[in-house]
Amino acid sequence: MGGSDPHSALVDNHSLHIHTMSQWPTNNGALPKLFRSFMLLLKPVIQFITLLWFLCVKIKAPDVFIVQNPPSVPTLVALKWASWMRQSSVIIDWHNFGYTLLALSLGRSSRFVAVYHWIELHFGQFNPNHTNRATVLYDQPPEFFRPAQLYEKRKLFFRIKKDMFRLNSSIDCISYGITANDMQDPNTTIFTNKIGDNYQLRQNRPALTVSSTSWTPDEDFGILLEAVMMYDRRFAALLNENVSNGDEVFWKDVDEGKTFSYPRLLFVITGKGPEKEKYEEKIKKLNLKRVAFRTMWLSPEDYPLLLGSADLGVCLHTSSSGLDLPMKVVDMFGCGLPVCAVSYSCITELVKVDKNGLLFSSSSELADELMMLFKGFPNECDALKTLRNGVLETGLSARWATEWEANAKPLISKVIAGDLD
């Protein structure tokens, strides 16, 4: 219902017809508490009626409904009614369990969670007189998730320059020394500059790290904040012990007899959700010297470019059910981006340690990984280069179209033909 605009590849596809439903108002905070409770109860009822109108009246009767779960309420209830009324089959993409997500905020013992679980279990079983078939379909990135070319990076960084530089707010290690003229200069960004007729990446650029989040309880953003504070403190300790040169600090590696540097870190956090403002306030109070954060919402066209331009991805997703894999990591791999991800039960199906990424279970482990991966940035960070090469070797071959043809399409064909009995 409403929400974000789809990618232009979907909008421009004449085989697809997008029906947009009105989004439920979200600015209910100023309402009296009793009225807010009434609105929460009214919301699923209105959504249920709206869904039935679209599924049963506004669109033509399909051979099969395909729906992603969660949300289960009121989606699965409305879909069961609609499939019965229109004699259509149903395929559910069990992306996760809705009741386990609800339990993160209300607790497993909550009666609301128990009711939600019953609804999900009862209405998630379609065709009771036939065999319910399950097929594993791994998320894969579409073709537009790919490594970005230098000219694409330059154009992207110029488009989001105002989000990167914050002249009217507190100055950090990214905005320091930036003037209004710099903001208007099309040849200069944080990461690129123009030498003669050619553009190139800056040697003293910050390391760009991206984390995509829905700002929900199943992603503990506090782990990242603690990790960057550790990075900042360790950097300060190195600064006191070694030689500082402009934007970098150099130190002697006694074992290898080499000189290495550590970069400033710029974390770009994309996404929107209920806990965003809470963590933005926490970020403002960190007083970091060598690390900066930017939160933003990018267009469907710019988001893949950002991933394809970054140096490292961080995934904070911890599955509420322990069964789902984060699509954001799939997208990062599609863009050739290595990932540091929170460790949980099935994540190793996706993140192969020391091949395409690293896992962590605590903020100190993530801080260690940041120090290790960005040692010698941008030219001598061998550990980061090894992971990127691993992603490029294995992560660009599997695409959504291939996975669809191999697993989803045959299942849909059998459902339509009624061959699943």
Q: How confident is the model at residue 171 (pLDDT cuts 50, 70, 90)?
A: confident
Predicted pLDDT at 193: 85
Give the pLDDT band (50/70/90) at residue 258.
low
Lowest mean pLDDT among 93-107, 122-136, 259-273: 122-136
pLDDT digits (tens, 9 = 90+) for 99-126: 998 888 888 899 989 999 999 998 888 6
CB-neighbour burial class of residue 19 (10 A; exposed 0-12, middle 13-18, buried 19+): exposed
- More reliable by pLDDT, 25 or 318: 318
Using DSSP, how many helices (H) and how many strands (E) does the chain show? 16, 13
Segment 290-306, tens digit of pLDDT: 999 999 999 999 999 99
Whether the per-residue pLDDT at 243 is higher than 70: the answer is no
Higher-pLDDT residue of 207 and 181 is 207
- The DSSP code for 318 is -
As a CATH number, domain 150-394 is 3.40.50.2000
Residue showing tokens 């590696």: 253
Report residue 14's pLDDT band, with 50, 70 and 90 as the boundaries. Answer: confident
pLDDT in tens, 397-415: 678 888 888 888 888 888 8
The predicted pLDDT at position 21 comes to: 81
pLDDT attached to residue 342: 96
Rounded mean pLDDT of 315-331? 89
Cβ atoms of residues 320 and 218 within 8 Å: yes
User: Do 273 and 219 meet the contact criterion of CB atoms below 8 Å apart?
Assistant: no
Q: Is the pLDDT reported for residue 168 higher than 70?
A: no
Residue span(s) of the chain under CATH 3.40.50.2000 come to: 150-394
**The two three-digit tokens of residue 253, written as one number:** 């590696």
For residues 358 and 343, the answer to whether their CB atoms sit within 8 Å is: no
In tens, the pLDDT along 37-89 reads 677 778 888 889 999 999 999 999 999 999 999 888 899 999 999 999 999 98
The answer to whether the pTM exceeds 0.75 is yes
Beta strand pairing call for 265-270 and 258-262: unpaired
Structure confidence by residue, pLDDT tens digits, 381-401: 999 999 999 999 876 667 888
Backbone dihedral angles phi then psi of residue 185, each to the nearest 5 degrees: -75, 115
| Cα–Cα dist 331/73, whole Å | 28
Q: Hey, which bits of 223-311 come out as E strands?
A: 243-245, 248-253, 258-262, 265-270, 291-296
